[in-house]
Structure 1
């Protein structure tokens, strides 16, 4: 793997967000312009090809480094969850609330929530956040009922219900409570095998991945899952192996990359047997690589955990599987930028897939568009597009 990557394929699943391929790649172009500015590169992104139904969007990214003399072409494909997420958002709010409360009870009674708190207390607080906010809205509604009881008598419960419902509708949307309610409901349904729409979409994506890799003659293929997409991409990668057991041999190197992954919400749940089976399928393949990137500053991940070991599985691969690396977001960004975003939970969580403003060994667009293989970059903490530049981190 000493030769630079000249042709790469990236397949990407993001979090539980209503984002179309057009919107995703518009943002990607803006981030690539920052990437070019930082490194002095010249990158061109093609128009989006979406196959007519917006389920999978693809662009070709051509990156050239005039000073270093290398060029790399990347076919970047994005799996769109937009239709599925928006259909969840379209349910009546009372239905969404009841589904969420059932979901919360399931995670609590099953013991999965306790494992969140025991192994990653920040993630545990993230899990509790929607429930805490709903409880506060409920208290506000109860207070309104008590205050208005002398005016309306027993009918004051209508005032309380109105206050609770209004806060959930308005503040719940503004503070991402309703979004997270649906995310957790979706996650539980996926874990318990109750999302045929997600299964069909992931199967289609896996078939597309295998077909494109067979036809592409790629030096490297990177399967990337961010946030909830980490859980979904693990499932998709296992499906690729089921479609073709020789899938990892179809390119120079095939690597799974999970960024700020929340996959252990499935791995810890007693009902996640099929998911753990999928992880075991990956762990028993000695040709497929897996890199897991985690961060302390980001609350929405399981910091300093090995997902395979946490699920009680053993890998047949020599050495650590996956390769787990922790990153420091403050080292990726200029001090002013970091100071501005560090208290924004979701903005910090998205930095994994945004452009850096300072040179650092972890750089999403160097991974996707640069000449260095992912395994080499994370093993040697290579900074930028040259093996001569290494970080002084451990």
Structure 2
């Protein structure tokens, strides 16, 4: 195993994004633009260029920091096509997802237990439920209002021509009722389609699909995604047998629990050579409890317990209370209730947006919840010991960078999950 204190000259980075339908090209462009900003603030040099890969999306980075040149290759797990496929749902199917997902989280007691820790991500989870139900209610109320007027118009026409006896009375009654129902149905369909067309701003359908995807297997990983993760693990294993100084796996958002699973499998399967590159894990803005608290997430709970007790991989978890879409400063192992004897990881750190961003930047971003959720991958005005670009492309390994660093005093490490069983 390489010495952590030696400067990192070559690094392989493997980024696992969260539930995102957009092609990973966006991550390269984000890295390029934000990296340039961070380098200007930090007084170092960084250059980003595209690179070729058959199984991943890749780019290359070269930095010069404190006189040391480092070259990194960053590979992104491509599963945006799986996300888009899961989002290709009709409006009725989305409302069925709403009912099913709500039932899973409520009936298992998971929703209540998640609220014990952080209300922000739970509110984010409830947002699409109330937003979609609100859209349906608006459409129904408006449809009933307009349909009522149409029905009243038919009855007025009936009285105007004196068609109030026997057959005509029943006929116009049915015509008015049928017209009312038709307008109600048409208004509901029209308004719901209109609301869906505006979802790039409302995020109701996107978030609903996200939570439905995570809960669809009651916490187990969908087979199609697992196959993609296994292929990605093969690429990481090959890097661990190469002549680089560090292999860093990064999981962001819901990609954090995927990264945990991939790294745990690599160690268990003996694919981490003792004399090879140092392997490290960085989880950012994680939402692990949304999955690990579900009844069938036994494999994830096993992976959490395994990684927490091993000494082969340095695992650092970074979040910020200002990020309302993550379980900020929640130790994913401890809150899941699977803490092993002699627990070593993860090291829980705060990106502390209110301190690392200038007041004007914070005012600009604080209500842009989705943008804040990506701040871990962006430049900070006043970075402390968290600089995403130095971590992924700088000369200091993750283990050495945070050696001796105390965990955040505000971390939450009280067991909260009802389900703690592990896969064999």
| TM-score between both structures, scaled by the size of structure 1 | 0.88
Alpha-carbon distance between aligned partners in 2 of 1:209 and 1:97, rounded to the nearest angstrom: 39
Deviation at 1:218, TM superposition (A): 2.4
CA offsets per residue over residues 204-235 of structure 1, 9 Å max, x none? 111111112112x2222221101011111111
User: 1:19-34, aligned counterparts within 5 Å?
Assistant: 19-34=22-37
Structure 1's 190 and 260: CA in aligned 2 closer, same or farther, altered over 3 A? Answer: farther
SS in structure 2 of the partner of residue 293 of structure 1: strand
SS in structure 2 of the partner of residue 325 of structure 1: strand
SS in structure 2 of the partner of residue 277 of structure 1: helix
Task: Tell which has more relative contact order, 1 or 2 (C-alpha 8 A, sep 6+).
Answer: 2
SS in structure 1 of the partner of residue 374 of structure 2: helix
Please point out which of 298, 305, 308 is paired with 2:333.
Answer: 308
SS in structure 2 of the partner of residue 223 of structure 1: strand
Alpha-carbon distance between aligned partners in 2 of 1:102 and 1:150, rounded to the nearest angstrom: 36
In the other structure, the counterpart of 2:150 is 151
Contact 1:207 1:243 in 2 (8 A): no
Structure 1's 339 and 203: CA in aligned 2 closer, same or farther, altered over 3 A? Answer: same
Alpha-carbon distance between aligned partners in 2 of 1:206 and 1:7, rounded to the nearest angstrom: 19
Alpha-carbon distance between aligned partners in 2 of 1:2 and 1:48, rounded to the nearest angstrom: 29
User: 1:155-170, aligned counterparts within 5 Å?
Assistant: 155=181, 156-162=183-189, 164-170=191-197
In the other structure, the counterpart of 2:374 is 350
Greater C-alpha Rg: 2
Is the counterpart of residue 180 in structure 1 residue 207 in structure 2?
yes
Gaps of 5+ in 1: 383-392
User: 1:1-394, aligned counterparts within 5 Å?
Assistant: 1-51=4-54, 55-65=55-65, 68-148=66-146, 149-152=148-151, 153=177, 154-155=180-181, 156-162=183-189, 164-189=191-216, 191-193=218-220, 195-215=222-242, 217-244=243-270, 247=272, 249=274, 251-317=276-342, 320-379=344-403
Alpha-carbon distance between aligned partners in 2 of 1:194 and 1:368, rounded to the nearest angstrom: 27
CA offsets per residue over residues 215-266 of structure 1, 9 Å max, x none? 2x2222221101011111111112222432x516354422211101011111
In the other structure, the counterpart of 1:388 is none
Deviation at 1:167, TM superposition (A): 4.7
Contact 1:283 1:316 in 2 (8 A): no
CA offsets per residue over residues 71-127 of structure 1, 9 Å max, x none? 111121111122111112223232233123211211111111111111111111111
CA offsets per residue over residues 265-293 of structure 1, 9 Å max, x none? 11111221121122223234221221111
Structure 1's 170 and 59: CA in aligned 2 closer, same or farther, altered over 3 A? Answer: closer
Alpha-carbon distance between aligned partners in 1 of 2:355 and 2:293, rounded to the nearest angstrom: 31
In the other structure, the counterpart of 2:414 is none
Gaps of 5+ in 2: 152-176, 412-424
Contact 2:240 2:277 in 1 (8 A): no
CA offsets per residue over residues 174-212 of structure 1, 9 Å max, x none? 211111111111111355436211010011111111112
Contact 2:248 2:279 in 1 (8 A): yes
What is the total number of aligned residue pairs between the two structures? Answer: 376
SS in structure 1 of the partner of residue 364 of structure 2: helix
- Tell me which moved more, 347-356 or 81-90: 81-90
Structure 1's 260 and 169: CA in aligned 2 closer, same or farther, altered over 3 A? Answer: same
| TM-score between both structures, scaled by the size of structure 2 | 0.82
Deviation at 1:164, TM superposition (A): 4.7
